[in-house]
């Protein structure tokens, strides 16, 4: 079936169908959970599975269709773990039936070599059928503590002239593709493209995307090109950003109908912004620079930091495959979806077709011989990485699976406006004598404060977290042995900086913990709180004391040592309400009036909050749960 585009701006037509996001409910108040479309088929096959065929983990999937219609799936095969540091090979599987089945695993690069071969980027010359594989290579070297770190990284080249069955074996380094002052270079991830020929006697130019970092910490993207069918390569258009400013990373590219090259990349900006992708349009890949304005943020496109894939369909829309859950952390790689643009990437649809609602990472797309789209992507159980799966879809499936991907929020009424993202379907209610509440089901209801705003990096001085709590311990919670997180700030693990309030099903008490990376310091309520009644809870640090108070009772306290004081996170972070960062435990109960302060609260402050009055001095977050939108 042919792909076609018609209609007004913002509507994409595939075949006979118009892609329109599922509308939300009319009016105000708390909406019901948006109706979910059935989603695309999650997996037709799984070319690479963790802990099989000699490797523990497969990452960085790449997909390309050869001149003869064979489908090539490439990936990094990691021997010991999914870690970026380790023995890494490039592996390949071939399919002659559009991805339904795959041939045996081929080790294209890395067999018997302890180095790291990575970021395989294949590109097909339609004239000769030659497949060029650009990839990165680095050795390992010990640091001062004896830990493995990357040695110098370079780009290398391989070719196949038999549809991917065999590959040249010489290393073929490409020093001309790495600047003399570059400390880092990589290509892709994702496949390269061949441009439409400009002369009948000359094949179309081959173009591959790359990124780099200089010794002066300028980061940026560059196009690499070949005018001889992939035999030789030159550096082309380049765009860099000075240290500390957002730069493109892991760029993906495709050719637009007018001949220009569209490049969509992961942004190095993580915290303090909702825009985690940047894009540029290049008219000439061989030009010395990407034309102004260069790479600019792609707005209104919820996505976490992750590589994505772009694909301009012949006679159809521009597609983007990427995780669609907003957030600044790698752990936000969830809900892989295919979104569309009708205006060459200037805007993207609010609706999209979900491939997988679970954790999923990088992906790559190609047009299959029959006209459908093939999609190769990362996923695993409880993590975005490890397995590489394949699916395919056409216009009918894409239309049927389209749904509104707009995140739901509940408002932060503090001056900072850090509105919380709502997951699941927490139920709205009322607290007697108070305001609106949200009840969490203990299964998949939770909230997140995302994009790590600077004002929420508490932990180097006095602070306070206040909320109303109402819950009753369930039998399944006691049996699970898991504590139920009410509020969890920052990381997880014995060395992670964090603060948290949890319910202990075994005792019915609340426990609060802070960790500056040197080990936890905890304090627990003196009596049970799981009586299905409303209680006002305040966790705070006053000087060197950690305090946890319930209602008007004297607080439980513990002393903090000098090495337990500063638990500000150094990198990106999220504050979760109703779950913990690994999503293995969920709170069953209600919350109301969640507040975070950059100071400790006095007894009078706490009494005012219990009486329903505002305390706004140094208020960093206030979630009254008055509406979900």
Q: Assign 329 to helix, strand or coil.
A: coil
pLDDT at 19: 45
d(CA 194, CA 202): 12
The Cα 263–Cα 367 span in angstroms is: 18
pLDDT on residue 35: 63
CA distances from 364 to 59, 92, 337, 495 (A): 12, 14, 12, 35
Q: DSSP string of 98-155?
A: TTSS----EEEE-TT--SEEEEEEEEE-TTT--EEEEEEEEEEEE-TTS-EEEEEEEE
DSSP assignment of 222-239, as one string?
EEEEESSTTSS-EEEEEE
List per-block mean pLDDT (blocks of 10 residues) for the chain, which spans 629 residues. 34 38 39 68 96 96 98 95 87 98 97 91 97 95 80 95 96 96 96 89 91 95 97 97 90 97 96 95 97 95 96 94 95 96 96 96 97 96 92 94 96 98 96 92 97 94 97 90 95 95 96 96 95 97 97 95 94 97 95 98 97 96 97
pLDDT given at position 309: 98
Q: Which residues fall within 8 angstroms of residue 366, CB to CB, at 6 or more apart?
A: 63, 64, 65, 71, 191, 311, 373, 374
Helices (H) and strands (E) in the chain, counts: 3, 42
Neighbours of 113 (CB within 10 A): 15
Contacts of 210 (CB under 8 A, 6+ apart): 155, 177, 185, 186, 187, 188, 221, 222, 223, 224, 251
Q: How far apart are CA 291 and CA 284, in angstroms?
A: 9
Task: For the domain covering 408-623, report its CATH number.
Answer: 2.60.120.200
State the pLDDT at residue 33: 54
Q: Kindly give the pairing relationship between strand 427-430 and strand 420-423.
A: unpaired
Predicted local confidence at residue 491, as pLDDT: 96
Please tell me the distance from the alpha carbon of residue 494 to that of residue 88, in angstroms, as a whole number: 29
Residue 282: C-alpha distances to residues 189, 206, 259 (Å): 19, 14, 9
Name the residue with tokens 């939300």.
Answer: 24
Please tell me the predicted confidence (pLDDT) of residue 7. 27
**Spans of all domains in the chain:** 408-623
Residue 152's alpha-carbon distances to 110, 115, 138, 178, in angstroms, are 17, 11, 6, 11
């Amino acid at each position: 079936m042919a792909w076609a585009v018609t209609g007004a701006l913002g509507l994409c037509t595939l075949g006979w169908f118009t892609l329109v996001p599922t509308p939300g409910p009319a009016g105000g108040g708390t909406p019901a959970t948006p109706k979910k479309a059935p989603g695309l088929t999650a997996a037709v096959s799984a070319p690479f599975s963790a802990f099989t065929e000699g490797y523990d983990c497969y990452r960085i999937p790449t997909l390309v269709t050869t001149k003869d219609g064979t489908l090539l799936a490439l990936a990094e095969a990691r021997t010991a773990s999914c870690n970026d540091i380790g023995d890494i090979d490039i592996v390949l599987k071939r399919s002659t039936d559009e991805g339904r089945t795959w041939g045996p695993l081929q080790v294209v690069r890395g067999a018997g070599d302890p180095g790291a071969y990575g970021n395989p980027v294949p590109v097909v010359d339609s004239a000769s059928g030659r497949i060029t594989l650009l990839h990165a290579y680095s050795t390992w070297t010990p640091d001062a503590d004896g830990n493995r770190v990357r040695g110098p990284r370079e780009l290398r080249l391989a070719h196949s002239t038999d549809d991917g069955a065999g590959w040249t074996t010489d290393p073929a380094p490409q020093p001309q593709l790495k600047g003399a002052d570059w400390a880092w270079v990589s290509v892709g991830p994702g496949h390269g493209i061949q441009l439409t020929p400009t002369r009948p006697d000359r094949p179309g130019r081959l173009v591959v995307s790359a990124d780099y970092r200089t010794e002066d910490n300028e980061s940026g993207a560059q196009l690499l090109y070949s005018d001889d069918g992939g035999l030789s390569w030159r550096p082309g258009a380049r765009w860099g950003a000075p240290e500390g400013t957002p730069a493109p990373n892991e760029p993906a590219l495709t050719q637009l109908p007018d001949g220009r090259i569209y490049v969509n990349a992961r942004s190095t900006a993580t915290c303090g912004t909702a825009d985690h992708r940047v894009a540029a349009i290049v008219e000439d890949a061989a030009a010395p620079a990407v034309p102004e304005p260069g790479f600019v943020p792609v707005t209104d496109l919820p996505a976490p930091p992750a590589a994505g894939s772009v694909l301009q369909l012949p006679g159809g829309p521009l597609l983007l495959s990427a995780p669609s859950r907003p957030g600044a952390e790698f752990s936000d790689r969830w809900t892989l979806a295919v979104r569309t643009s009708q205006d060459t990437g200037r805007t993207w649809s609010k609706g999209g077709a979900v491939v997988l609602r679970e954790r999923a990472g990088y992906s790559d797309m190609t047009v299959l011989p029959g006209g459908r789209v093939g999609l190769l992507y990362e996923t695993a159980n409880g993590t975005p990485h490890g397995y590489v799966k394949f699916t395919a879809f056409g216009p009918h499936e894409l239309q049927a699976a389209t749904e509104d991907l707009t995140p739901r929020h509940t408002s932060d009424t503090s001056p900072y406006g850090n509105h919380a993202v709502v997951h699941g379907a927490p139920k709205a209610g009322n607290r007697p004598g108070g305001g609106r509440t949200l009840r969490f089901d203990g299964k998949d209801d939770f909230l997140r404060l995302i994009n790590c705003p600077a004002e929420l990096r508490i932990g180097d001085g006095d602070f306070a977290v206040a909320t109303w709590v109402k819950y009753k311990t369930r039998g399944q919670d006691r049996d699970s042995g898991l504590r139920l997180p009410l509020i969890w700030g920052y990381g997880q693990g014995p060395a992670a900086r964090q603060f948290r309030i949890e319910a202990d099903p075994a005792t019915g008490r609340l426990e609060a913990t802070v960790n500056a990376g040197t080990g936890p310091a905890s304090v627990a309520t003196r009596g049970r709180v799981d009586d299905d009644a409303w209680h006002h809870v305040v966790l705070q640090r006053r000087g060197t004391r950690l305090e946890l108070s319930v209602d008007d009772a004297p607080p439980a306290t513990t002393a903090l040592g000098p090495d337990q004081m500063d638990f500000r996170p150094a990198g990106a972070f999220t504050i979760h309400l109703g779950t913990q960062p690994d999503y293995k435990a969920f709170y069953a109960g209600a919350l109301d009036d969640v507040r975070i302060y950059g100071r400790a609260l006095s007894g009078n402050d706490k009494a005012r909050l219990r009486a329903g009055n505002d305390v706004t001095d140094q208020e960093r977050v206030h979630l009254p749960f008055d509406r979900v939108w």
